Structure 1
């Protein structure tokens, strides 16, 4: 869902992530829940951009409702994932 120029929301009313669409690439803020993967695919398709245009994922913290599809993006598409050091272990282990 487009919120503003270059800013899109994925997920539902309770758990969300945000997509920042810039000419040089897409940055995601949080990765919602694993089931939001389809939302990401649909939003990228609506923008006419492949998943390979995602240049980074910023996790605001390591809670399970924020790390959702992070590992999939990292392992399948090589997207770098950024998280504060204090939350890194929690983000890795869920």
Structure 2
């Protein structure tokens, strides 16, 4: 298997400590990925035509088939998160 990828991403977050024994982190981010030059050769499993490959057969190219491990395409991934870090008890109280 072989592939190449270009990726641009960013993330930002902020921390709020205005609640006793808590620290709240809120953040967001975005990633753009472009997966290209995907090549996959196999000699077991499902072939590019959807039929099972005979055990021990020659290598078969799955590139650009629906059975490849990942299609060549660009993806946009956005995320949000909220994290609450809290104290269960205080030492020495």
Larger relative helix fraction: 1
> With CA pairs under 8 Å and 6+ residues apart, which has the higher RCO, 1 or 2?
2
Fold shared by both chains (TM-score > 0.5)? no
Structure with the bigger percentage of strand: 2
TM-score band by shorter chain is under 0.3
In the superposition, the TM-score normalised over structure 1's length comes to: 0.23
Larger Cα Rg: Structure 1 or Structure 2? 2
